[in-house]
C-alpha cells in the first residue's frame, strides 16, 4: 500500500513538473515569435519588460606604450590662472593641463570610434564645408570618426574629402520654420540616432554646432563618461548672471542661488548610454514644457544646463573648445581649438 502511495506521489509531481516545462516552452516560443516579429537581435528585454539597447562593451584602460618619451609630470607646476578641477573632482581641460603625446598613446591603442553629430538646416548648409574641412585637420586626428549630418537639403551639402577611417552619413530631416524648433528637436533626433544606429557601433559621441570651425587640436583629452563645455560668454561671471531658465513653471528652472557653471548647448558628449539618457531626459522635459505652453529661454541649452546641474559631468572642457570668435582675445585662452563663426543671425535664421 505504501509503495502504491509513493508511486502515485511521484507520478503526480511528475505531471506537475511536465506542466511547468510545457508552459515554459510555450512562453519561450511566444517570446521567440515576438523577437522575430518586432525586436532586433541587438536588443534585450529586462525583467521589467523594457527593451534596452545592448551598449558596446567598455574596455577603457589607461595603458601607456612601453618606451614612450614625454615630459615629466609635476605636482607643483602647471596652470595657476585657472581652475583645472571642479568641486566634484572632474577635470577641467585647458591648454597646459595635459600631455597630448601621452594621451594619444593611451587612447589610440584602444581603436575607438567617435560618432559626431551636426545639424545644417536652411541657410546653415553654408557652414558645412568649413566645419568638415577644419575637422579633418584638427578633430580626433588618427581616430575613427563617423560624422552624422542632419539636413533638410541633402542636395546642397558640398563634397568634402574625408580621410581614411572617417566617414560621413547624411540624414534628411524636415524643414522647420523657427530656429527655436530646430534647436528643441535636436535632442529627440540624437536620442533616436543613438538607439537605432549607434548603440553598438561607436564608443563615444560628440554633438556639435555646424556654425563652428576648428583651429586647433580637439583630441582624446576630451573623452569622458559625460562631457560639458564651459560657455565662452559666461565662464568667468557670477552664477546670478547665468542665463538659466528662471521660471519655476519650466522643467529647466534653476533658482538664482543654484548652479555650478553655464554650459554651451553647442557642444557636449560622452559615452553613448550617458548621452542617450541626457537627450532622452531633455526631450521629455521639453515635451512637458510644450504641453504647458512654456518654452525655456534658451530651448535645449536651458534643459542641458538643468541636466548637468543634477547629473554632474565627469569632464569639463574649457572655452578653448567653444570660443566665440577666433579674433577675440582673452588672457586665459592660450589656444582657440573650436570657435563660433561670426555671422548675421537675422540673415541665416528663418525667424528672429
| Active site members | 301
Residue 295 annotated as lining a ligand binding site: no
- Name residues whose C-beta falls within 8 Å of residue 38's C-beta, 6 or more positions apart in sequence: none
Task: Dump strand ranges (E) for 182-222.
Answer: 204-208, 212-214
- Name residues whose C-beta falls within 8 Å of residue 345's C-beta, 6 or more positions apart in sequence: none
Q: Provide the grid cell at 18.
A: 511536465
**Is residue 187 a contact partner of residue 282, using CB atoms and an 8 Å limit?**
yes
**Is residue 204 a contact partner of residue 323, using CB atoms and an 8 Å limit?**
no
Residue 289 annotated as lining a ligand binding site: no
**Is residue 214 a contact partner of residue 137, using CB atoms and an 8 Å limit?**
yes
Q: Please calculate the CA angle 40-196-191 and round it to the nearest 5 degrees.
A: 140
Q: Please calculate the CA angle 105-111-117 and round it to the nearest 5 degrees.
A: 110
Residue 60 annotated as lining a ligand binding site: no
Residue-level length of the chain: 352
Query: Around Cβ 247, how many Cβ atoms within 10 Å?
Result: 11
Instruction: Tell me the Ramachandran region of residue 188: left when phi exceeds 0, alpha when psi lies from -120 to 50, beta otherwise.
Output: alpha
Residue 301 annotated as lining a ligand binding site: yes
Residue 45 annotated as lining a ligand binding site: no
By the 10 Å C-beta count (0-12 exposed, 13-18 middle, 19+ buried), 16 is classed as: exposed
Residue 211 annotated as lining a ligand binding site: yes
Residue 285 annotated as lining a ligand binding site: no
Query: Around Cβ 198, how many Cβ atoms within 10 Å?
Result: 24
Cα dihedral angle (91, 97, 99, 102), rounded to 10 degrees? -20
Name the binding residues.
Answer: 124, 209-211, 231, 243, 301
Amino acid at each position: 500500500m505504501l509503495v502504491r502511495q509513493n508511486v502515485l506521489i511521484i507520478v503526480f509531481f511528475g505531471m506537475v513538473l511536465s506542466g511547468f516545462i510545457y508552459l515554459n516552452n510555450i512562453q519561450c516560443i511566444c517570446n521567440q515569435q515576438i523577437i522575430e516579429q518586432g525586436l532586433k537581435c541587438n536588443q534585450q528585454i529586462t525583467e521589467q519588460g523594457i527593451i534596452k539597447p545592448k551598449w558596446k562593451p567598455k574596455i577603457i584602460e589607461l595603458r601607456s606604450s612601453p618606451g614612450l618619451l614625454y615630459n615629466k609630470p609635476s605636482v607643483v607646476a602647471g596652470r595657476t590662472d585657472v581652475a583645472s578641477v571642479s568641486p566634484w573632482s572632474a577635470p577641467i581641460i585647458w591648454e597646459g593641463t595635459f600631455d597630448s603625446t601621452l594621451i594619444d598613446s593611451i587612447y589610440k591603442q584602444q581603436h575607438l570610434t567617435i560618432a559626431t553629430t551636426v545639424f545644417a538646416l536652411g541657410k546653415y548648409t553654408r557652414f558645412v564645408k568649413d566645419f568638415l574641412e577644419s575637422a579633418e585637420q584638427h578633430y580626433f586626428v588618427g581616430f575613427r570618426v563617423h560624422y552624422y549630418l542632419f539636413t533638410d537639403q541633402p542636395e546642397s551639402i558640398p563634397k568634402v574629402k574625408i580621410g581614411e577611417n572617417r566617414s560621413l552619413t547624411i540624414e534628411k530631416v524636415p524643414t522647420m520654420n523657427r530656429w527655436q524648433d530646430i534647436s528643441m528637436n535636436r535632442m529627440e533626433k540624437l536620442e533616436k540616432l543613438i538607439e537605432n544606429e549607434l548603440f553598438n557601433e561607436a564608443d563615444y559621441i560628440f554633438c556639435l554646432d555646424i556654425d563652428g570651425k576648428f583651429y586647433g587640436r580637439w583630441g582624446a583629452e576630451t573623452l569622458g563618461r559625460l562631457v560639458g563645455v564651459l560657455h565662452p560668454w559666461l565662464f568667468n561671471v557670477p552664477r546670478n548672471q547665468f542665463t538659466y531658465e528662471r521660471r519655476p513653471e519650466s522643467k529647466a528652472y534653476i533658482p538664482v542661488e543654484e548652479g555650478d557653471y553655464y554650459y554651451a548647448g553647442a557642444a557636449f558628449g560622452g559615452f553613448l548610454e550617458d548621452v542617450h539618457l541626457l537627450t532622452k531626459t531633455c526631450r521629455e522635459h521639453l515635451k512637458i514644457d510644450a504641453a504647458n505652453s512654456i518654452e525655456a529661454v534658451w530651448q535645449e541649452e536651458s534643459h542641458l544646463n538643468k541636466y548637468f546641474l543634477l547629473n554632474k559631468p565627469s569632464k569639463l572642457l574649457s572655452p578653448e573648445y567653444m570660443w566665440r570668435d577666433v579674433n577675440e582675445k582673452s588672457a586665459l585662452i592660450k589656444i582657440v581649438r573650436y570657435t563660433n563663426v561670426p555671422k548675421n543671425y537675422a540673415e541665416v535664421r528663418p525667424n528672429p
